[in-house]
Amino acid sequence: MGVKYLYDANIIIYHLGNEKAVERFFTRRFLDENEVVTNSIVRIELLSFSELDKEEERKIRELLDQFEVIPLTSPIEELTIGLRRASAIKVPDAIIAATA
Protein backbone atom coordinates (compact mmCIF):
# COMPACT_ATOMS: atom_id res chain seq x y z
CA MET A 1 0.00 0.00 0.00
CA GLY A 2 1.15 3.55 -0.73
CA VAL A 3 0.51 6.56 1.43
CA LYS A 4 -2.20 6.98 4.07
CA TYR A 5 -4.41 10.04 3.55
CA LEU A 6 -6.96 11.62 5.86
CA TYR A 7 -9.53 13.41 3.72
CA ASP A 8 -11.21 16.44 5.23
CA ALA A 9 -14.51 17.99 4.20
CA ASN A 10 -12.90 20.44 1.77
CA ILE A 11 -11.38 17.87 -0.58
CA ILE A 12 -14.66 15.98 -0.66
CA ILE A 13 -16.64 19.16 -1.37
CA TYR A 14 -14.20 20.01 -4.18
CA HIS A 15 -14.54 16.51 -5.59
CA LEU A 16 -18.33 16.65 -5.52
CA GLY A 17 -18.08 20.03 -7.25
CA ASN A 18 -15.97 18.44 -10.03
CA GLU A 19 -12.88 20.52 -9.26
CA LYS A 20 -10.05 19.37 -11.55
CA ALA A 21 -7.41 20.09 -8.89
CA VAL A 22 -8.56 17.15 -6.72
CA GLU A 23 -9.68 14.74 -9.45
CA ARG A 24 -6.57 12.54 -9.21
CA PHE A 25 -7.20 11.88 -5.50
CA PHE A 26 -10.44 10.07 -6.34
CA THR A 27 -9.39 7.90 -9.27
CA ARG A 28 -9.78 4.15 -8.83
CA ARG A 29 -6.02 3.71 -9.28
CA PHE A 30 -5.19 6.28 -6.58
CA LEU A 31 -7.70 4.77 -4.15
CA ASP A 32 -6.42 1.25 -4.85
CA GLU A 33 -2.78 2.24 -4.33
CA ASN A 34 -3.25 4.37 -1.19
CA GLU A 35 -5.16 4.16 2.05
CA VAL A 36 -7.76 6.89 2.44
CA VAL A 37 -9.55 7.47 5.74
CA THR A 38 -11.77 10.15 7.20
CA ASN A 39 -13.23 10.81 10.62
CA SER A 40 -16.61 11.41 12.20
CA ILE A 41 -16.13 15.20 12.24
CA VAL A 42 -15.86 15.20 8.45
CA ARG A 43 -19.02 13.10 8.17
CA ILE A 44 -20.85 15.49 10.50
CA GLU A 45 -19.60 18.56 8.60
CA LEU A 46 -20.66 17.17 5.22
CA LEU A 47 -24.02 15.70 6.20
CA SER A 48 -25.28 18.48 8.46
CA PHE A 49 -25.86 21.20 5.83
CA SER A 50 -29.51 22.22 6.16
CA GLU A 51 -29.81 22.87 2.41
CA LEU A 52 -28.71 19.34 1.50
CA ASP A 53 -31.26 17.56 -0.68
CA LYS A 54 -31.78 13.77 -0.71
CA GLU A 55 -29.68 13.23 -3.86
CA GLU A 56 -26.76 15.25 -2.50
CA GLU A 57 -26.95 13.36 0.79
CA ARG A 58 -26.98 10.05 -1.08
CA LYS A 59 -23.87 11.04 -3.07
CA ILE A 60 -22.01 12.15 0.05
CA ARG A 61 -22.90 8.99 1.96
CA GLU A 62 -21.95 6.80 -0.99
CA LEU A 63 -18.58 8.52 -1.26
CA LEU A 64 -17.88 8.43 2.48
CA ASP A 65 -18.81 4.75 2.68
CA GLN A 66 -15.69 3.98 0.63
CA PHE A 67 -13.41 5.18 3.41
CA GLU A 68 -12.61 3.89 6.87
CA VAL A 69 -13.90 6.29 9.54
CA ILE A 70 -11.41 6.87 12.34
CA PRO A 71 -13.33 7.18 15.62
CA LEU A 72 -12.65 9.84 18.24
CA THR A 73 -10.42 8.08 20.76
CA SER A 74 -8.78 9.21 24.00
CA PRO A 75 -5.37 9.72 22.32
CA ILE A 76 -7.01 11.86 19.62
CA GLU A 77 -8.83 13.83 22.32
CA GLU A 78 -5.54 14.50 24.13
CA LEU A 79 -3.83 15.62 20.92
CA THR A 80 -6.81 17.87 20.18
CA ILE A 81 -6.53 19.44 23.64
CA GLY A 82 -2.83 20.11 23.05
CA LEU A 83 -3.51 21.69 19.67
CA ARG A 84 -6.24 23.91 21.10
CA ARG A 85 -4.02 25.04 23.96
CA ALA A 86 -1.18 25.87 21.56
CA SER A 87 -3.21 27.75 18.95
CA ALA A 88 -6.52 29.36 18.12
CA ILE A 89 -7.56 26.47 15.90
CA LYS A 90 -11.29 25.63 15.93
CA VAL A 91 -12.36 22.41 17.65
CA PRO A 92 -13.44 20.53 14.49
CA ASP A 93 -10.20 21.45 12.72
CA ALA A 94 -8.16 20.47 15.78
CA ILE A 95 -9.88 17.07 15.89
CA ILE A 96 -9.16 16.51 12.20
CA ALA A 97 -5.51 17.55 12.67
CA ALA A 98 -5.15 15.32 15.72
CA THR A 99 -6.65 12.40 13.81
CA ALA A 100 -4.06 12.88 11.07
Classified by CATH at the fold level, domain 4-71 comes out as: Rossmann fold (3.40.50)
To the question of pTM greater than 0.75 for the whole model, the response is yes
State the pLDDT at residue 2.
Answer: 82
pLDDT, one tens digit per residue, over 13-61 is: 999 999 999 999 999 999 999 999 999 999 999 999 889 999 999 999 9
pLDDT, one tens digit per residue, over 60-84 is: 999 999 999 999 999 999 999 999 9
- Measured N-to-C along each axis, helices 54-64 and 9-16 cross at an angle, to the nearest 10 degrees, of 120
Are 39 and 6 in contact, with CB atoms under 8 Å apart? yes
